[in-house]
Structure 1
Amino acid sequence: MGELASAIDALGALAADDLFDCSDGDLLDRTRALTRARNMVDAELARTVRRAECAQASEHDGLKSMRPWLRTHARQSGPAITGLIKAGRVQEHLPAVAAACAAGQITADQVEVLAEICTSTALDEAAAAGVDLPAIEAALVAVAVEAPYRDLQKAVGAYLAALDPDGPEPDPTEGRSLSLVQHPDGAFTGGFTLDAVGGEKLATALESIAAKSRCAGDIRTRAQMLGDALVQLADLHLASGELPVLRTVKPHVGVLVGIEDLLDPADGPGAATTGLGAAISAARARMLACDGNVTRIVIGPDSVPMDYGRTHRVVPPHLRRAVELRDQCCVFTGCEAPAWWCDVHHVLHWADGGETCLENSALLCERHHTKVHHGFWVERDPDGRWHTYRPDGTEIVIGVRLLR
């Protein structure tokens, strides 16, 4: 452990280096060296975790496997733990990969790709075909060391496809997966794996929504556009009413908010709770209440519901049809999101005394509905033209206004 302690001390000392005194070349050389060091640390960590797993070392701390030990003692995430355990097994089965890992020549991401050649199915097919696995391994390691990550993915994919070219068509659904993790603040992160056709379907659907939602002055990044498109895709299906029923109730987003917070114009962070337990602001709850179903629930002092009122639709269907016929699309200046993407926004919120009527309604897509509940506002003049104003009171105008 003495050498490991010295290595940790050496890495810790790097934080004292003044990077502002480094030239461009020095910074790039440092990056290369640190990348190699990181690869070596990742490889040794995976090797150690593998040995600890086989020795059931986690029992020393009262845990049945390394997975819960890494989650609690090393504070690792689920995907990181899976990657570590997989990398340790790969190094055990592929000596050339293990040597390249120990030398810091390949990354943990590349090891995950190379792991595909030593699955039980791939090994059985290789043995049946008489494949010289060490030669294949050496060739793929050479690609990993010399070529970009994408090239390694292609090389491994080509090898796996060649193992059984005449075999049955694989079931694309077997390899599909999606993981979602809800964090303490209610936000979600996750990842997914799709086959080529499934991925093409999703990419095409998201691209069509992202392209349609672009508007003048849009400064969102590509990732932000696709994130908004994914939420819009969910909105479209939830609004269709054709999703499977969940325990006698159609799937919907539920929010519990106190009447005082609903009526208070302040943001009120953490004032409302979603069906999945996330805390959201009162402002966000008011936005959802613009165009949704509202149920009165009386809560007793022990937080137990004492009385339920009837659920009623804030914007009835006939009013929505009228608003769609009048506005056609999102009325926020520069946006042309179609009517079926939009909520019916109360210009003066019904909780503040605004009427649920055509004159007090406006079509807004989710993105701009959010903006309107965070300082922007829309107004309709007597001749029927909508105007959009920034929080500072200036109007958003498309094109150049000529001075006379």
Structure 2
Amino acid sequence: MSQTLSSDTDADHNPVDQLAHITEQLAKALTGLTYALQEDALSLALLDGLEQLGRRVDGARVASTADVARRADVELYGGTASLSKRMGCTGKLDLIMSVTHVSVREVKRRISLGALTSVRPGVGPLRPAVFPTVSAALAAGEIGVDSAEIIVKGLQEVIRQADPSDLHLAERVLVANATGALNDDTEGLPGAGIALPADRMRVLVHEWQARLDPDGIAPQEEAREAKSSISFGSFERGLYRIFGGVTPDLRGEFETYFASRLSARATVKFLPTAGQTELDGADGTDGSDGADVVPDTEVVPDTDVVDIDRRPAGEKRADILRDMVREAARDPKAGVMGGSAPTVTVHVNAVDLNAGRGVGWIDGVEAPVSLTTVDQVLCSGGFIPILFGPNNEVLRVGDKRRAFSPAMTKAIMSRDGGCIISGCDIPAYWTELHHVKSYAQGGKTEVANGVCLCYRHHHAIDTSGWQIRMTHGRPEVLGPAWIDPSQTWRPAQNHRANRPIN
């Protein structure tokens, strides 16, 4: 911005007057800005500068909202009514919405975040925020409300189970990931020094939850399974809506099989077969409440015994759909990924598996699965377990062909877990394999010379400024100057299972 903002620091001016003065100057500065017809570098700089300004304002709005919410809730000393009552409002939500004119959803969001990132009143001096590192970064405009919200909500879920020192370490590392800061906590971590977008932070928070409370996955999983349900809504605009929720392992099966069908290179198409009929429900039955007809009893062959199935209809549908996906994946005509039939891959670290604690990870699914689930899939099949050793060993397979073999593809995808470019969340099965040293320049087609890149990063690798090298069989990346001003080689993103819980 070409204009400098300054505030009147006269002691006679209260904060409201100072804020009005700043707002007036800011309005003049923003009115003078032009966005079109700028050079690319200047356009990106404007976007970054405005976002920093917005984060500053957002942090202040959260703090102010939390303060007013507290005043609106608390009966003040001397029996004076709370602020909401004195203003003639029904409560804090009514009061804040009347002042800000924002939605009740946004008010609740600010209050919830502010309660965890603002100083707290008590007997004596003010107590620090529950999450002080997030609080400081939010107030300084270093992270946005969305990233702050993802971090504090995720850590709040495990705050009772986690060791306080480990919890504080997780908070510092996550804030460093969100801001791109380099410190002792993040040294050597993949992507350290490069600020990650909020959506990517959600994935990292899931990892830290698993590290802080690895045993908490198993108790939750039974509850999730009981809630797995699929049902159909009313017929509207030519479609039946589908409602429900599924467990992480079932989601992984869906993602893997759907990916093989949705791939740009897929040649398989869905064609009606002879005698194919429409699904039940043509009579207009609304199954949104899970109460439509699904057989509850089955006569066991050659007996008069009736097996009573008391599961809800939605849960039955979920199991039926799972069987359909598994059967379709085994079909020889199914789409292929990496030269083989679509197969769900469960990654688990051997250190965690031998210790009997930790979690497993399914490609394309953010939520971890418990070791109980890992044991089940090892016995039942349908999944391929990939184990990483204490030193992250990967089987080395090499040949003289230009194309990577299916075995190489599996090894590289298992090592990288997805596109290796920092901040990219494209899972492994959507990536393409790239020769670090090009085949034309004598680069070998082997695991030690191959990395996973998404379509976008693969096709722009020569123009985007990203550089890749292999060090001791592991990829490292160097970001362009506009992303990483320090121009430091850093470990590439790798699969979550490469990082043991312990």
Bigger radius of gyration: 1
Relative to its length, the structure with more helix (as a share) is 1
Asked if Structure 1 and Structure 2 have the same fold, meaning a TM-score greater than 0.5 normalized by the shorter chain, the answer is no
TM normalised by structure 1 equals 0.44
TM normalised by structure 2 equals 0.36
Q: Which has the higher contact order (CA 8 A, sep 6+)?
A: 2
